[in-house]
Amino acid sequence: MVFPKIGIGETIYLSRVPFKGKAVLLDSIVIKNNHDPVTFSYTNNQEAVYKITSTFNKFTVTFISDNSKIIIHANYFAKTAVIENSKATNSLLIFRKRQTDLAKKKDTLFFKNAINYADTVKSPAAFVMVYDDVDFGKDYKGLKRFIARAINRFPAYQAIREIEHKVNTYVKIMTEEYNIGEHLPFITLPDQNGLPMTTESMQGKMYFIDFWSTWYPNCVRFTTVKKRIYTNFSKEKLNLVSIALEPEKEDWKRYIESEGLKWPQLIDQNMWEGTAVKTLKFDSIPFNFLVSEKGIILAKGIPADSLEQVIQKFIKHTKP
């Protein structure tokens, strides 16, 4: 039930918000006066997230269906809402306010607060909504224990089962790695013109492959040394290919053009869930491999200040 303060003749909409994908419109009501409540009905077997929007402005009221009867006092003029009979929704609102305050202060408790809330909240839908605030860094065992606790509390909740699968896949990638002496698999990704390129085309010469992004300063530090390598080392002996983990293709293309990067440039816009990470199993950037003409890893994770010396050493030992 919704008590809307909104312009007469405006329409309000009820939509279900899936945890992935677009919202699904369920119902709409035209407001005839500002005094009587309007009632939306919904049916679902598990807690779900819903939102109420309007033709009046962009103000959105989001709530969790943890009760069969939820009352919402929505003021579209003031852009405020009071939600009754939904402990999950109000718990989430308090959490969000706390997170906003911590973020403004750049307080390191931001991630700890998210973990504590997710570990104790009684609503599986609220758990899923705060999951993106949780960060275990490289504590992969801690992340798996965290998800296991959630599965124990909400064993039948499908969205948390999907998160568990995603976490297990991610941890497997991050805890496995290719080592020196092993064969590095080939990958195929688009270049700046959108054309697919495979790193198999590098085979036959020694090649240097690195992973970076325009948004991370430590990656950009490699740009100058990579330019020197491209200019100073023989193209007959060494190939270069750079792969950006970059969400914004246009930002990446502008950087390539402004810096005049002439060797093959590829992009993985799926970043940490993309082909590069899943196939080549690295867990941070900047990162790199130096690979032999037969595809064998010669060195990896080479620092910028020793990159030229390392490449020179291996080129000297390469048979003419």
Per the structure, the count of domains in the chain is 3
**Whether residues 276 and 232 fall in one domain:** yes
Which pLDDT score, from 0 to 100, does residue 169 have?
83
**Torsion sign, CA atoms 172, 145, 124, 129:** negative
Read off φ and ψ for residue 148, nearest 5 degrees.
Answer: -60, -40
**Whether residues 249 and 193 fall in one domain:** yes
Tokens 């009046």 locate to 56
- 240 is a domain residue: yes
State yes or no: cis peptide before 320, omega within 30 of 0: no
**Whether residues 18 and 50 fall in one domain:** yes
**Whether residues 11 and 98 fall in one domain:** no
Q: What secondary structure letter does DSSP report for 184?
A: P
- 34 is a domain residue: yes
pLDDT band (50, 70, 90) for residue 320 = very low
**Whether residues 27 and 142 fall in one domain:** no
**Domain end marker among 85, 117, 144:** 85
**Whether residues 42 and 76 fall in one domain:** yes
pLDDT band (50, 70, 90) for residue 318 = low
**What average pLDDT is seen over the chain?**
91
- Centre a 10 Å sphere on the Cβ of residue 9 and count the other Cβ atoms it contains: 10
- 180 is a domain residue: no
**Whether residues 129 and 142 fall in one domain:** yes
pLDDT at 137 over 60: yes
Which pLDDT score, from 0 to 100, does residue 317 have?
64
Count the alpha carbons within 13 Å of 220 in the hemisphere toward its beta carbon: 10
- 181 is a domain residue: no
Tokens coding 241 = 């290919």
* pLDDT tens track for 188-231: 999 999 999 999 999 889 999 999 999 888 898 899 999 999 99
**Whether residues 192 and 311 fall in one domain:** yes
**Whether residues 209 and 290 fall in one domain:** yes
pLDDT at 261 over 90: yes
**Whether residues 140 and 196 fall in one domain:** no
When pLDDT is averaged across residues 141-166 and rounded to a whole number, the result is 94
Q: Are strands 206-212 and 2-5 parallel, antiparallel or unpaired?
A: unpaired
| pLDDT more than 90, % of the chain | 72
| pLDDT more than 70, % of the chain | 99
Which pLDDT score, from 0 to 100, does residue 173 have?
78
- DSSP for 200-236 reads GGGTTSEEEEEEE-TT-HHHHTHHHHHHHHHHHS-TT
Q: Which residue has the higher pLDDT, 43 or 98?
A: 98
- 202 is a domain residue: yes
Residue by residue, what is the 3-state secondary structure of 237-268?
CEEEEEEEECCCHHHHHHHHHHHCCCCCEEEE
Which pLDDT score, from 0 to 100, does residue 69 have?
92
pTM of full prediction above 0.75: no
Domain that holds residue 276: 188-316
**Whether residues 71 and 108 fall in one domain:** no
**Domain end marker among 175, 205, 223:** 175
**Whether residues 209 and 276 fall in one domain:** yes
- 182 is a domain residue: no
**Domain end marker among 64, 85, 106:** 85
Element (H, E) at 28: strand 24-30
pLDDT at 237 over 50: yes
- Return d(Cα 305, Cα 311) in angstroms, integer: 12
When pLDDT is averaged across residues 63-81 and rounded to a whole number, the result is 93
